[in-house]
Structure 1
Amino acid sequence: MKKFLFYCFLVTGLSIHGQENLTYQKPSKEILELATAPLAPSIRIDSKGENMVFLYRSNFKSIATLSETEMRLGGLRINPKTNISSRERYYNNIKVHVGRKSTETTVSGLPENPRLSNFSWSPNQEKMAFTNTTSNGVELWVLDIANASAKKITSDNLNANTGDPFYWFKDNMSLLVKMLPENRKDLIDTKTAVPTGPTVSESEAGVMAQNRTYQDLLKNKADEHNFEQLVTSELYKVDLDGNASSWMSSAMYSDISFSPDGNYIMVETINKPFSYLVPYYRFPSTTAVYDTNAKLIKIVLEVPLIEDLPQGFMAVRTGMRSLSWRGDQPATLVWAEALDKGDPEVKVDYRDEVFQQEAPFTSEPTSLVKTINRFRGIQWGNANTAIALDYWWNTRNTKSYIFNPSNNTAKPEIISDRNYQDVYSDPGNPVTSRNEYGRYTLDIVKNKIFLIGDGYTENGKFPFIDQLDLKTKKTTRLYQSSLKDKIEDISMALDMNKGEILVRIESKNEYPNYYIRNIKKRMAPVPLTQFENPFKSIQDVHKEIIKYKRYDGLELTGTLYLPTDYKAGKKYPMVMWAYPREYKDKSSAGQSTSNSNEFTYPYYGSPIYWVTKGYVVLDDASFPIVGEGNEEPNDTFIKQLVGNAKAAIDAVDDLGYIDRNKVAVGGHSYGAFMTANLLSHSNLFAAGIARSGAYNRTLTPFGFQSEERNYWEAPEIYYEMSPFMHADTMKTPLLLIHGEADNNSGTYPLQSERYFNALKGLGAPVRLVMLPKESHGYAAEESILHLLWEQDQWLEKHVKNRKVEE
């Protein structure tokens, strides 16, 4: 406790000194070429695999874009001028591929300097709607697939601040659109506004609200006013010629969904009172059903403010939740209700019960199924067949139930009961196809369904398609990938009667491309795309999955890369990158989903760049934290963390590749937390890189990552796991990087600032880089290139050129 008080005094009494007047820098040529290589497009493919839409965008945003006005309210980040998320990632070009044998066609009619987002197929998949953000707002556009032409159908007056800004009507000829209200009041400048009184919050005795450390919450009455103005919309019906008619007056609309037959519309609105403790999605809300003429049919659900849930990851509110439409019926509402009062500590045989109610929603709801664990969803099939899913985080258990929606007296049959972290036993996900309502439901053929699985094994990844007999519950394997030097992923089934599936194939130096494979004809797959590898400089880099064991015999893996100029017998410095993950059993923890045939893709956060600078790289090193039985994973966090690191270094050293005196460790978010702990509790590393992490767990007292216990229940765990509390033992050079506008729960920028102060005050070698305007993940080109420069300079100084005392 004395140490803790000393640190509190230390961080309040010190300020950050020694700032550098540094402009944005760029990394060396080898890294810069990889970081700025052009991206392949993102793809939208219709359900038949016939037509494709290619969406292109730049690698990065600019710091100027990130510097546009931003309001952070109720968990949202909004550009109040354009009325769309200030963090939106935009596309800047569209091409279409009409028919499997055609070539790409550039879409005509697009706006100048487009900023495109919110793409949505029409119900018949002949058109695609999307938005374009101008300097003043958001416009609605529609793309005609067959003609490869786009046109604008509204001015830039959409409200895209909450939920989707538009929704297709069933007729394919009109859309329901959220528009800015005519009576919107002026926003309050909170920096200059004169307060009318203090901000007061109160808690009643005995009412516990153990919420995590959310960011961007409302703070005062001015924030409440601004939030209300920014999320309030009017709903309009707009046809494809741009004719608009008012559909519903102003409200704080959050979510809207059409019934499968298109005759009813479920509308959710946000209500007051607002909260300063939780984000907007836990504010009060009302859900009502209307017909297509905006006539109220029924108020279905009214939810109060949710500030005080029971403790635990599996806690839920009481009453109706997970409200949705039944996909195989014209207009039937479905929802779940907790049978344990939403409290995971309550012992019951069944946690949830699922109900349904058909239009016009006046009859008594009927029970469909009860789930042993917490309800997760239903995959609808037909009147007699559906599959319910549940899960329970504390045991990592998930179950699948086949049940008859038309007969709730028939007992559901459990067809899968497994640890969801056990990837080797995953039976796969049911194949779905579009029904007459345009909804994806179970593809049932002669009382059989199909399952697509990833096919992870000890020897690699071999995706499969199984056929499951609904009567006998026996499975028959119809197809399994046999590629040895490549990876095949089954993206979707196109037509199981014909045996057509859409697959994506890649290798370590072959960019992922899409193909049509026919599993009945057993012919070579037919290519749909032909994207080239943009990262030529590392396409021949040596890459392998290494396996090794921890002190307790747990098998671990990592993806090992050798330098591009590797010479046998030479010892190289190494960069190790990792992210800890919690497990409840060693069997699952020892499994691997890594594959040496995965395409080598150096995204901005990757350590792969450093193979071009003479480093061995061990990426995605296994860092399991296991707690079996009554033991929680974090009870022995430090011991396991250090054990994972030592095993990895020993394994690569035994291969003769590295100088173990020149090893760096790095990670992002929880990986940054891992890095700081490793430097505090071991002498294995020459330096560390920690990006956007949390270092003092007393600042997240009601749980963090996968830790359910609060600080007062496990103070020794919070203390032991906090690198801040052990700053006096940390003598290894550490590069701290953090976005100044981090929005992630728990990883406040303050975490890095306070940790830097503590380390600096105790004489540790540390450098703090705060990236202006950046969030938890980084987006601006200037920031990312500077990030790569900082990391490169740090590694050169403290790892590659480290002076080791004899």
Structure 2
Amino acid sequence: MLSDPRLLLTRFNYCTHRLLLGASLLIAGLAALAAPQQSAYQQPSPAVRDLLDAAASPKHLISPNKQHLAMLELRRFSSLAELARPTLRLAGLRFDQASGVPSQTAAIQRLRLRPLLNPQAPELVVDLNAGGPAGKSYFHSFSWAPDGQRFLLERRTDLANELWVGDAGSGQLQKVAGLRLNNALAQGELAWLNPSELVLLAQVERRGAAPKLPPVPSAPLVRETSGRASPERTHADLLQTPHDERLLEYHALSQLTRINLRTMQSKRLGEPALFFSVASLGDADALLTERITRPFSYSLTWDDFPQVVEVRRPDGTVMREIARLPLKRGVAINGVLPGPRLFYASPNKDAAVYWVEALDGGNPNNRAAHRDHLMRLDAPYTGEAQELLRLPHRFKDMRFLDDGLHALVSEDDAMRAWTRSYLFPLRGGSIRTVFDHSMRERYGHPGAPVMRISPNGHMLAQTQGGGLLLIGAGASPKGDRPFLDRLSLRDASVQRLFQSGEAIYSQPLELLNESQLLTLQESINTPPALFTQSLTQPNAPQALTRARAPHPLMRKIRRELVSFKRSDGVDMSFWMYLPPDYKEGEARPTLVWAYPLEFNDASLAGQVSGSANRYPNFNGISPLMLVLDGYVVLNEATMPIVGDAKAVNDEFIEQITLSARAIIDKAEDLGVTDPKRVAIGGHSYGAFMAVNLLAHTDLFKAGIARSGAYNRTLTPFGFQSERRSLWDARDTYLKLSPFLYANQIKEPLLLIHGDADDRAGTIPMQSERLYQALAGTGGTARYVLLPLEAHGYNARESVGHVQWEMRQWLKTHLGEPKASH
């Protein structure tokens, strides 16, 4: 008997909830009686519109030789016309049908270069019309060459994705003629061989026309399972038909191509394949490539398809097959494949290949003294691999240090939500634990390694003065104070080289030399700007750039970190934003915006992040824009779920209820909030939380839920931190599905969703079915489906409309943002 897991789930739902589902059919019919409203995109208030249209803060990229600084201004929003371009959705991928560029790749709107060693020298503005008028074409994906003398840009046109080379001294651009990049499987995948040569993935020449959909189906679509458990998350954009398979092969087929930046010539290497990764080994005497093969899957994304890992000669011919990974089926929830996985190319002269293999069969439920071990195969790749290290927990990542002697190897203990990192000597010696802390640790977080590009193009963790450089947020009860540390490779002692002050938020970016640091500084009244900072004279920074305030009202917004406890003693906090016209003592309508997080340890739940000294920076769909319309917004309100990782969600409803009540009580005590006019809102998992609060409490007068999931039987093999399946924790899944409690939601609810949501579990049907349930049970709801939008919203029209919808919803159900008398 043929059986599809989704059909089995449908049967379960029918048997378990037949009365409710029967009612749902009636609900759907009733809701269908009301035709959807057709109206134009609406505009937010002038203040919000002006702020949305202000230029984004530039992104700063320092050249590897530390001679030049690139300042990229990315386009903040796309247009609906851009989103409407023909797009392919195959095996979890989304890319432009004509050029192969991944969807929503950020366009570079402006590019400036300036010398770092001569602050008085003028900036160079790179001509981004070099390829012709902008129109539908745009540059994207800036990167430096390893020596910093050149930089790369990609340019998407109506027909292709081109490679352009820029000169750091003059800013002049030159196109690599006759080359079409292939980014369908991996954006910007390339391997530097030396500062002037690289290998990348290009389209196959003369590949012909794309496969056409047959006018008439030739056979039914059949899926079969044979008793082997294969729990898979709910993914979007999966393959559906044999035609999809042919399209994937056509568009993802790549040719390894060697580019010489001096001559601007290109050379094909080996035979085309479905490559998704290429890396140089050591001094580029060999390449490490990874590619996918058939059979494809209709229930997995492309990165779980069978893979072949090979070492290739510089001409592209195969020297040795390293591993052949099977289709990732039958793998436990949060498990891994039992064989080789996660391959690393050594940046050192040994040109070794590293990888990881499971020692527990890949199943986290199996008892094992060690979960993984790290393996190495040395050149010339003819012998057997050597075991280097056994890890008690699941391998996380490996980062090579630029001293050529060490790597930083990290592991995660998922059950404890704990992480540990080792300083590992690559050629023998004692292994030292250097980091050992909770994944949720903020106050004691050691920071992350400073990464730099090596002369042979590899990203390496930077050392200086015998120590590993680390940059961290510097979280504390008083807010973030970023730091730069040096961790000794000899004894693991830590020396603090720099830390931000309290009045000015200063973020370290790059050590220019032993005593000069490049920082990004800002304050509550001053937008971010670049400074050079002496480590020996920290009180005398020199300004490199100046930034303009995007809107004069921003300086009048009051921002304050508020800390308190909920009734069970768990520490909590929120960032309170008060409108520009706020007057002391006013109790205004308030929006609480939150996102729940799970903690094993209650002491970590109250650790805060962020700084009161940062300049306000609101993204396009941020609820903080509502502050400009007069509402109080309590942002990043902590919603800690504290408990054992195995069953932390069993008390999800009870704990978010405790948190919500504590937030409202504290805001009322501060005198800023009218407790009778409070709305709850969130995005994604925050939306799930918000709707559950409306279903199980009467604390809020209205709600806003964007791109959420509300029926957990549609995500039966886990969600967020939940490791159990629906059949392992049926009561929890049902209890946490607000769709099943729609009749209890009496407060008005605004639902917003992108009709092309690409996130696992948050398909638009989640919002549609909840809306139908609310309509059928007499609730008050508004459902806004944004055309062409994914999990986040990208078009200028969409972003403005979302702000208008939220403003109108609060105005309608909380009233005008005036004080309560």
What TM-score do you get using the length of structure 2 for normalisation?
Answer: 0.93
- Paired residues of 1:123 and 1:170 also in contact (CA < 8 A): no
Structure 2 counterpart of 1:317: 337
Q: Does 2:472 align with 1:453?
A: yes
Structure 2 counterpart of 1:293: 315
Structure 1 counterpart of 2:509: 491
Deviation of 1:330 (Å): 4.3
Tell me, which stretches of 5 or more residues in structure 1 are unaligned? none
Deviation of 1:281 (Å): 0.7
Q: Does 2:654 align with 1:639?
A: yes
Structure 2 counterpart of 1:304: 326
Structure 1 counterpart of 2:554: 538
Secondary structure (helix, strand or coil) at the match of 1:725 reads helix
Deviations 1:285-309 (A, max 9, x none): 1111112222321111111111221
Deviation of 1:325 (Å): 1.5
Structure 1 counterpart of 2:10: none
Deviation of 1:172 (Å): 3.2
- State the one-letter code of the partner of 2:669: D
Structure 2 counterpart of 1:691: 706
Secondary structure (helix, strand or coil) at the match of 2:556 reads coil
RMSD: 2.4
Deviations 1:489-538 (A, max 9, x none): 2223343xx23333222222322222222213435222333222213212
Deviation of 1:166 (Å): 5.7
Structure 1 counterpart of 2:290: 268
Secondary structure (helix, strand or coil) at the match of 2:72 reads strand
Task: Mark the CA change 1:665 to 1:189 in structure 2 (over 3 Å): closer, same or farther.
Answer: farther
Q: Does 2:483 align with 1:464?
A: yes
- State the one-letter code of the partner of 1:605: I
Structure 2 counterpart of 1:159: 182
- Paired residues of 2:45 and 2:629 also in contact (CA < 8 A): no
- Paired residues of 1:383 and 1:406 also in contact (CA < 8 A): no
Matches within 5 A, 1:246-265: 246-265=268-287
Task: Mark the CA change 1:450 to 1:687 in structure 2 (over 3 Å): closer, same or farther.
Answer: same
Deviation of 1:546 (Å): 0.6
- Counterparts of 2:717 and 2:467, CA distance in 1: 47
Matches within 5 A, 1:32-431: 32-100=49-117, 101=119, 102-108=121-127, 110-111=130-131, 112-113=133-134, 114-155=137-178, 157-165=180-188, 167=190, 169-190=192-213, 193-205=215-227, 207-240=228-261, 241-311=263-333, 313=334, 315-381=335-401, 382=403, 384-407=405-428, 410-431=429-450
Deviation of 1:785 (Å): 0.9
- Counterparts of 1:682 and 1:805, CA distance in 2: 23
Secondary structure (helix, strand or coil) at the match of 2:604 reads helix
Q: Does 2:754 align with 1:739?
A: yes
Structure 2 counterpart of 1:718: 733
Deviation of 1:440 (Å): 4.6
Structure 1 counterpart of 2:671: 656
Tell me, which stretches of 5 or more residues in structure 2 are unaligned? 1-16
- Counterparts of 2:220 and 2:476, CA distance in 1: 60
Matches within 5 A, 1:567-582: 567-582=583-598
Task: Mark the CA change 1:244 to 1:414 in structure 2 (over 3 Å): closer, same or farther.
Answer: closer
More displaced 10-residue stretch of structure 1: 731-740 or 431-440 = 431-440
Task: Mark the CA change 1:660 to 1:3 in structure 2 (over 3 Å): closer, same or farther.
Answer: farther
Structure 2 counterpart of 1:527: 543
- State the one-letter code of the partner of 2:251: L
- Counterparts of 1:370 and 1:505, CA distance in 2: 43
Deviation of 1:60 (Å): 1.1
- State the one-letter code of the partner of 1:463: P
Deviation of 1:384 (Å): 4.9
Deviation of 1:317 (Å): 0.7
Task: Mark the CA change 1:325 to 1:606 in structure 2 (over 3 Å): closer, same or farther.
Answer: same
- State the one-letter code of the partner of 1:300: I
Structure 2 counterpart of 1:617: 633
Deviations 1:251-309 (A, max 9, x none): 21111111231221112121111100100111111111112222321111111111221
- Paired residues of 2:556 and 2:579 also in contact (CA < 8 A): no
- Paired residues of 2:397 and 2:411 also in contact (CA < 8 A): yes
- Paired residues of 1:426 and 1:453 also in contact (CA < 8 A): yes
- Counterparts of 1:518 and 1:477, CA distance in 2: 14
- Paired residues of 1:277 and 1:307 also in contact (CA < 8 A): no
Structure 1 counterpart of 2:799: 784
- Counterparts of 1:287 and 1:231, CA distance in 2: 17
Percent of pairs with identical residues: 33
Deviation of 1:374 (Å): 1.0
Task: Mark the CA change 1:499 to 1:420 in structure 2 (over 3 Å): closer, same or farther.
Answer: farther
- Paired residues of 1:369 and 1:412 also in contact (CA < 8 A): no
- Counterparts of 1:38 and 1:318, CA distance in 2: 49
- Counterparts of 2:286 and 2:448, CA distance in 1: 30
Deviation of 1:545 (Å): 0.4
Secondary structure (helix, strand or coil) at the match of 1:460 reads coil
Deviations 1:127-158 (A, max 9, x none): 11121111111111111111111111134733
Structure 2 counterpart of 1:479: 498
Task: Mark the CA change 1:432 to 1:732 in structure 2 (over 3 Å): closer, same or farther.
Answer: closer
Deviation of 1:728 (Å): 0.5
Deviation of 1:14 (Å): 4.2
Structure 2 counterpart of 1:514: 530
Deviations 1:356-395 (A, max 9, x none): 1221111322222221211122333446543321111221
- Counterparts of 1:780 and 1:415, CA distance in 2: 44
Deviations 1:436-493 (A, max 9, x none): 5454545556654444332212222223344444444433434333x12222222233
- Paired residues of 2:589 and 2:818 also in contact (CA < 8 A): no
Task: Mark the CA change 1:189 to 1:736 in structure 2 (over 3 Å): closer, same or farther.
Answer: farther
- Counterparts of 1:231 and 1:469, CA distance in 2: 45
Deviation of 1:48 (Å): 4.6
- Paired residues of 1:159 and 1:233 also in contact (CA < 8 A): yes
Secondary structure (helix, strand or coil) at the match of 2:235 reads coil
Structure 1 counterpart of 2:12: none
Structure 1 counterpart of 2:3: none
- Paired residues of 2:519 and 2:530 also in contact (CA < 8 A): yes
- State the one-letter code of the partner of 1:367: E
Task: Mark the CA change 1:31 to 1:433 in structure 2 (over 3 Å): closer, same or farther.
Answer: closer
What TM-score do you get using the length of structure 1 for normalisation?
Answer: 0.94
